[in-house]
Amino acid sequence: MTSLEFTSQVQKISSSLRPVAMNLTRDADDAKDLVQETLLKALLNKDKFKAGTNLKAWLYTIMRNTFINNYNKITKRSSNIDSTEYFQYFNTDENYITHNGATTDFVVRDINEAIASLGSDYRTPFMMYYIGYKYLEIAEKLQIPIGTVKNRIHIARKDLKAALHVYAPAGADRAGAVLLDEPEQD
């Protein structure tokens, strides 16, 4: 199937997508956006369509998956978890309880100094990751390979753990700061 034939068939089917999109979104503007996004994805991925299969079903599948992905993004962003009960037990270990406000100032100052002592090649990706950027986003923003980003963040963590070893819980091999724990992320 040529690109022209594919585009022509998608155009013919596109009018039947609108009622389904309306049924999913329950909003005319959102339905239009969903149809547009579906058509865009279909045209961008036309090489993945197998000639001789049901094009209409393929488009409906793209629309359904797009709707589900958008819905999940929205609900993740707007979900508020009441964690008051959880925080009652958070950091109840004696190693983390501060009875003197000055001690907290020393800890914060030491953490800030340790971060500032990192070279900018390591500090920038580490801080971007710490505030919530994903590895891929950091790589794109800094225009460096993703492997380099992961390596720099790893080295920054290692250096910070070494610099802040005095705050490790008694008998621990490594600093227990949440800031420095290795996440599981691709």
Spans of all domains in the chain: 1-81, 94-185
Residue carrying structure tokens 């409906």: 60
Helix axes 101-117, 120-130, angle to 10 degrees: 130
Residue 177 is predicted with a pLDDT of 46
Written as six digits, the tokens of 61 are: 């599948």
The CATH topology of domain 94-185 is: Arc Repressor Mutant, subunit A (1.10.10)
pLDDT at 95 over 60: no
Range 38-59 average pLDDT? 91
Residue 58 CB-density burial (10 A; 0-12 exposed, 13-18 middle, 19+ buried): middle
Judged on CB neighbours under 10 Å (0-12, 13-18, 19+), 95 is: exposed
Top-confidence residue, 80 or 145: 145
**pLDDT band, very low/low/confident/very high, at 54 (cuts 50, 70, 90):** very high
For the stretch 151-178, pLDDT in tens is 999 999 999 888 888 877 765 554 444 4
Q: Does domain 1-81 have CATH number 1.10.1740.10?
A: yes
Gyration radius from the chain CA atoms: 25
Mean pLDDT of the chain: 81
> Is the pLDDT confidence value at 143 over 90?
yes
Stretch 43-61: mean pLDDT, rounded?
A: 91
| % of the chain exceeding 90 in pLDDT | 38
Residue 42 parent element (H or E): helix 28-44
Query: Do the Cβ atoms of 107 and 118 come closer than 8 Å?
Result: no
For the stretch 111-129, pLDDT in tens is 888 888 989 899 999 988 8
